[in-house]
A = this chain, B = another copy of it.
């Protein structure tokens, strides 16, 4: 049951890099929602490689088709199948790599786990798998926006050792994020990142980065303690994105150095109920949203597939020098922005549905 996520808004993805198509089945989408491909395509376009010289040049158009679950542009409450055809289904570029597991890639572990693996392109571990997540997330985001005016904005905070200036959680917009192709709203830092990545691409190397995300207008009360605390499900969701190595929410690792008297967020009276004067909690207390903005950061490692020659061994243990062919992202964070937002939407909508059930049946 590895490729499903959620309890009431449940998504099940499918597809490898070079099969007939990739996609997702959404079970539990609320009925009556106005929905066409145009609601989904923009996030797929933001996720797509080849948007700029800073990501891989492969032209994947990634046009989504709604196979089922809507009629006359409205959801029926039945499973919504979304699909994107794979244009090029012929495994080719990866020939030599079939016998050599790429260091820090999934080739070795997939082979050991399944006793078989897709002969090329990473199969299910490829970033292409995230198309289903992003498509389902776009639908979830629309529900959340229409019901609660929820806003989810992720951006590139750092690439390699270049870090953007701190952003204003309360005002940052997706437009600001998309002002640069690298999706860093600090245009100064963005320019440096782009230069650095262009260099890396030339050199056949790669780099990591950090994506930040804020979610505004979250209803109070979302999250299902104890094992499905809101931050716990967000953490699972983010670490399920390929190439992620870390997650922190609110004060995160830096907060461990503070005193309780410094770290605590005092309550203040607000228009509707209470708010907090500070937000070290990152919008979640005891595993439940408190109405303040939720914000978190995700660490992405440098992509494993690089053109530079790497000394390693083949599946039989023989020493080899691997030079990966094909065109690969030198840095995934610009594309990861849409994936992070989508994953966040999947978590939030599922939690919102569960809380609505509770509210309706409480005494």
Contact across chains for B299 and A109 when beta carbons are under 8 A apart: no
Measured in the bound complex, the distance between the Cα atoms of B228 and A240 in whole Å is 7
Can you report 11 residue pairs joining A to B where beta carbons are below 8 Å apart?
A4-B27, A8-B354, A8-B357, A13-B25, A30-B358, A114-B358, A207-B257, A252-B299, A258-B302, A260-B303, A353-B361
Residues of chain B within 8 A of A113, CB atoms compared: 77, 220-221, 223, 288, 355, 358
Measured in the bound complex, the distance between the Cα atoms of B200 and A258 in whole Å is 12
Q: Which chain B residue lies CB-closest to A276?
A: B103
Contact across chains for B261 and A308 when beta carbons are under 8 A apart: yes
Contact across chains for A289 and B229 when beta carbons are under 8 A apart: no
Residues of chain B within 8 A of A235, CB atoms compared: 232, 235-236, 238-239, 247
Q: Label chain A's interface by main secondary structure.
A: mixed
Q: Which chain B residue lies CB-closest to A289?
A: B109
Measured in the bound complex, the distance between the Cα atoms of B35 and A233 in whole Å is 31
A88: min CB distance to chain B, Å: 15
Q: Which of B79, B259, B363 contacts A33 (CB 8 A)?
A: B363
Contact across chains for A253 and B253 when beta carbons are under 8 A apart: yes
Contact across chains for A352 and B361 when beta carbons are under 8 A apart: yes
Contact across chains for B226 and A129 when beta carbons are under 8 A apart: yes
